[in-house]
Amino acid sequence: MGIATEDSVKKSMHGGSDLEGMKLFAGSANRELGQRVADYLGIELGRITCTRFSDGEIRVMVEESARGNDVFLLQPTCNPANDTLMELLIMLDAFRRASARHITVVMPYYGYARQDKKIKPREPVTARLAADLITVAGAQRVVCVDLHAEQIQGFFDVPVDHLYAGPIIGNYMRDQGYGEKDVVVVSPDVAGVSRARSLAEMLHAPIAIIAKRRPEPNKVDIMEIIGDVNGKLCIMIDDMIDTGGSVIRGAEALLKRGATEVMVSATHPVLSGNAAQNLQDSVVSQVVVCDTIPIPAHKHFPKLTILPCEKLIGEAIRRIHLNESVSTLFDEWR
């Protein structure tokens, strides 16, 4: 992935003169990632306090002036989703009232994204509701990483920059030598075929598809595997791992079809409930994820590999502030 030129990186890392008038703040959801993004950009992470009142209400206090600045707010709306989303809305209101010139929300993980359409009568489209709340609260631009569904971009009435973490995963796989092995890239469902195809092109490998159905949320039935996986190392790629049940069932089906090994990769490590232990105990040989969502220490396990994404997010922020193209970062991937 073409992350910045050498001169532009040096310029931002030494004095940040081209980033004058820009400030980056991070909420409590993933402050560590916010600090690493600030380090990449060569700027100080903005001072903001996010605490609770005695009754549990969220209190936000911006500890420095934002008047007239191009403000970026980094906050994934991950678990606890209701709290992190509400904190983001309150931060937006605070900066809007603080006379920030422009406010961009950077959401490495967009919560409620799986409720992006009506499947049954009387269901909400919560992904659209979250987009409306963020826009009304004051966001003038939104940056997301690997949305669960591409159409969520259209739920916003403001510009949305959709970043892809696939090149980070692809470069890791190439560095580990998987591009030289007998590999097949597997999409865990029909909706993820384009993501799998892009990774397959990076690794010069064929693809396979798992056709499945979900009788209810977090439950999956494997229906059929399309493609030849016999004698192959399978690399399954998805946008997120939640309970882990889907990828574990998929890995078991691939091994029954003759696969020699199954690795799993995903951008967002949601890892709900006992997912970490279930993945460690499963037939999956390795789990590769990005750090869009912080993973608590008790959910780390030996098979887990975490890839950093601060360069991707930091470079997108730099380009947005300087009115440069963001989409060209992913010319090869798409």
Choosing from 118, 212, 299, 311, the catalytic residue is 212
Q: Where are the alpha helices (DSSP H) in 98-231?
A: 126-137, 166-175, 193-203
Helix (H, G, I), strand (E, B) or coil at 290: strand
- The one-character DSSP state at 242 is S
| Rounded Cα–Cα distance for residues 259 and 223 (Å) | 17
DSSP 267-287: EEE---TTHHHHHHTSS--EE
- The one-character DSSP state at 108 is S
> Are the C-beta atoms of residues 168 and 309 closer than 8 Å to each other?
yes
In degrees rounded to 5, what are phi and psi of residue 159? -60, 140
Taking alpha carbons only, the member of 216, 217, 222 closest to residue 236 is: 222
Taking alpha carbons only, the member of 161, 157, 210, 167 closest to residue 187 is: 210
| Rounded Cα–Cα distance for residues 256 and 64 (Å) | 59
Is 11 catalytic? The answer is no
How many helices and strands, by DSSP H and E, does the chain display? 9, 14
Residues annotated as catalytic are 212
